[in-house]
Amino acid sequence: MMKTSFKKGDVTYCGVYCGACHWKRASRENDERHLTEKRRMLESIEKQYWLACPGCKVGSHRADCEFRICAESRGLDRCVDCNEFPCKRHVDFNNDGVQHHANSLASLNVLKNDGEDVWLELQEKRWTCSCGAKLSWYLKSCLKCGKLVDLKSRNVSQNRR
C-alpha cells in the first residue's frame, strides 16, 4: 500500500472528499481557477470564510452541517460507524442532483468496508490527474496539462482495485 499524502482531515461525515473541494484546492494552491465563476464573484468576507475552511471535522467551521451534528450527538467520528447508516439523510444527499454529492454513498461504503487509509488512497488516485496535478470537483480540464477531466472516471466504484 502506498503512503497517502492526503490528510485525515479530508475525511468527511458525508462521504464527499474534502481534498477535492474547489475551495480547499484554491486555497492550498493559491489558485482561484479551481472555483466556479459564481464562487469567484462572492463577497470578500464570505469568500475568505470558505477559502479558510480546514474541513468539516475541524474547529467550528461547518458546525451547521447536519451530518456533523448528528454524528457528534451520537458520539461518532464517522457516519459509517452508526448502526442506522445509511440513513435517509445520506440517501437524499447522494441523490440531490449536486454533482459532487452523487457518489457519496459508494464512497462511504468504501470508507466503512476498507477503512480511512484505503479510502484516502483511492481518493488521492481519483482526484489526481495523470500529470500529477490535483483536481477539484468542478474542473473540466486539468489546470496543469489541460487534459479533459472525465467525470465518469471520478466514480469511486470504477477506481476500486
Is residue 50 in some structural domain?
Answer: yes
| Contacts by residues 153-158 (CB-CB < 8 Å, ≥ 24 positions apart) | 154/103, 154/126, 154/127, 155/103, 155/106, 156/103, 156/106, 156/107, 156/110, 156/122, 156/126, 157/106
Domain count along the chain: 1
**The dihedral formed by the CA atoms of 139, 38, 54 and 49, expressed in degrees to the nearest 10:** 160
Report yes or no on 39 lying in a domain: yes
**Has residue 51 been placed in a domain?**
yes
Residue 36: inside a domain: yes
> pTM value?
0.82
From CA 23, how far away is CA 52, in angstroms rounded? 8
Q: Could you tell me the residue range of the domain that residue 123 belongs to?
A: 10-159
pLDDT 10s digits, 41-74: 989 999 998 899 888 888 787 888 999 999 999 9
What distance in Å separates the CA atoms of residue 57 and residue 55, rounded to the nearest whole number?
6
Secondary structure of residue 72 in the 3-state scheme: helix
Model confidence pLDDT, tens digit, residues 8-40? 778 899 999 999 999 999 999 999 999 989 898
Residue corresponding to grid cell 467520528: 77
